[in-house]
């Protein structure tokens, strides 16, 4: 056999050997893959019950968390004098603004965005009230205050304040007040017999300082706080009801014993003047009217409101203009009525009650103010000496890191606060230690 033939045979043998090795290798890989697949299936089958159990646990946990979220959340409020208040967060709202209690324990809550809620005796949401005034919320304006008529039990009458745009120029606006009949049925609640009884005059540009808080006096008159709309001078202009406290009869007519009665349809509404942005009014047990208002740059005030008195803004203030321009203090021009209490730095007061309940006897006669920038519930004490001079002091400040928009008291003496902004919670004060 020659050398070429020998080389050819060897080459064929090597090729056959390589092919055989490749076949063996592929078969080995196939058998390994089959074994691994079987092992994987065995593991998956063994762990399947465990995975099902895990999924079931997660579902149960999520459901439990959801159910728990519907239960009251405890809120701890730290007082500046060492007191700790405990509260219970009941429900939440979209930019809540005001609250009022009905005689049967139900309540109403307004949202600046335009909704009014009926709450049940446990202060849980029961239904949205139908036929509420439509609003276009801008800046500080939208749906505002709500109060009930002193004879609500017999007449079902409530009062609602809100911001109205000018029909001819949308840039102009002003606060208005309607009275209406509230009807509650098993299916919900609605307003009827709506009647507009008061307007800020004139409408002006801008979307701030509407104020539009309301309170009934013990003798049945309707008092309204009307802000100066960030225009300064209207507070001293007697032809405008901006920057004033207004006094009306329950039907919106003007009482003949108002101090400026007979001097024009707007002027005769005025009870006091020289106010900036009064966002809280209430009567004490002796029938005195108190109102707090936001100062310009600091200088927030708490005033006892007296017939025909001028409280000085913008001529005097305990604060200064945001531009840095100084404003004389009340003491510099004593013809103007000075506040009984002023805050520097500001607390940005909103919402206000003077406590008249029996549940917290050591707080009887104290005022409670919602603090926006101060993020606190501010308690003030009132004392009057034998000569009639008032001494009003901040007694304690309770903080939990939230802006407080509204403070209200129910018929049995419970105190409630509404937090500001979207998601603002309704909190019932429960105990203190």
Among candidate residues 220, 351, 230, the one with its CA nearest the CA of residue 281: 351
- CB 192 within 8 Å of CB 131: yes
* CA nearest to 214, candidates 160, 286, 157, 136: 160
Question: What distance in Å separates the CA atoms of residue 145 and residue 111, rounded to the nearest whole number?
Answer: 9
Q: Classify residue 406 as left (phi > 0), alpha (psi -120 to 50) or beta.
A: beta
Please say whether the beta carbons of 399 and 375 come within 8 A: yes
Contact 398, 430 (CB under 8 A): no
Of 106, 149, 209, 212, the catalytic one is 209
Interatomic CA distance for residues 97 and 132, integer angstroms: 15
Distance CA 239, CA 255 (A): 18
Beta strands in 114-199 (DSSP E): 116-119, 125-130, 143-148, 157-165, 172-185, 188-199
Query: Residue 94 is encoded by which pair of tokens?
Result: 């979209």
Cis peptide before 33 (omega within 30 of 0): no
Which of 206, 214, 271, 219 has its CA nearest to residue 243?
A: 271
Whole-angstrom CA distances from 73 to 87, 117, 152, 231 are 8, 21, 32, 42
Does 209 qualify as catalytic in the annotation? yes
Torsion of CA 20, 26, 31, 36, to 10 degrees: 160
342: nearest Cα among 308, 310, 369? 369
Give DSSP secondary structure letters for 64-78.
Answer: HHHHHHTSPEEEEEE
Q: What would the two tokens of residue 95 be? A: 């930019």
Q: Which of 213, 208, 102, 78 is nearest to 156 (CA)?
A: 102
The H-or-E segment that residue 154 falls in is: helix 152-155
Just list the catalytic residues. 209
């Amino acid at each position: 056999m020659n050398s070429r033939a020998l080389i050819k045979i060897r080459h064929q043998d090597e090729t056959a050997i390589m092919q055989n090795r490749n076949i063996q290798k592929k078969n080995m890989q196939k058998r390994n893959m089959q074994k691994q697949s079987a092992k994987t299936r065995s593991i998956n089958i063994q762990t399947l019950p465990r995975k099902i159990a895990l999924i079931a646990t997660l579902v149960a946990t999520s459901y439990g968390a959801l159910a728990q979220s519907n239960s009251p959340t405890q809120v701890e409020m730290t007082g500046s004098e060492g007191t700790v208040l405990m509260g219970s967060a009941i429900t939440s709202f979209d930019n809540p603004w005001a609250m009022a209690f009905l005689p049967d324990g139900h309540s109403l809550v307004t949202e600046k965005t335009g909704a009014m809620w009926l709450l049940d005796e446990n202060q849980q949401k029961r239904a949205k009230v139908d036929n509420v005034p439509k609003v276009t919320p801008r800046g500080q304006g939208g749906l505002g205050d709500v109060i009930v008529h002193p004879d609500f039990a017999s007449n079902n009458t409530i009062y609602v304040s809100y911001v109205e745009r000018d029909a001819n120029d949308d840039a102009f606006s002003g606060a208005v007040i309607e009275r209406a009949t509230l009807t509650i049925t098993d299916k919900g609640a609605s307003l009827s017999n709506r009647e507009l009884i008061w307007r800020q005059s004139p409408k002006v540009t801008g979307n701030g300082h509407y104020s539009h808080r309301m309170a009934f006096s013990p003798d049945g008159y309707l008092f309204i706080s009307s802000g100066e709309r960030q225009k300064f001078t209207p507070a001293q202009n007697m032809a405008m009801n901006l920057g004033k406290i207004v006094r009306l009869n329950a039907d919106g007519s003007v009482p003949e014993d108002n101090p400026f009665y007979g001097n024009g349809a707007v002027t005769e509404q005025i009870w006091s003047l020289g106010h900036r942005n009064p966002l809280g009014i209430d009567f004490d047990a002796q029938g005195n009217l108190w109102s707090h208002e936001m100062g310009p740059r600091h200088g927030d005030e708490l005033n006892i409101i007296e017939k025909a008195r001028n409280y000085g803004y913008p001529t005097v203030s305990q604060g200064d203009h945001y531009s840095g321009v100084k404003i004389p203090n009340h003491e510099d021009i004593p013809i103007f009525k000075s506040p009984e209490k002023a805050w520097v730095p500001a607390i940005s007061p909103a919402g206000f009650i003077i406590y008249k309940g029996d549940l917290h006897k050591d707080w009887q006669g104290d005022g409670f103010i919602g603090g926006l920038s101060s993020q606190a519930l501010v308690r003030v004490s009132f004392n009057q000496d034998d000569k009639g001079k008032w001494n009003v002091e901040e007694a304690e400040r309770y903080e939990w890191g939230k802006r407080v928009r509204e403070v209200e008291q129910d018929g049995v003496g419970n105190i409630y606060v509404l937090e500001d902004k979207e998601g603002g919670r309704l909190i019932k004060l429960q105990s203190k230690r």
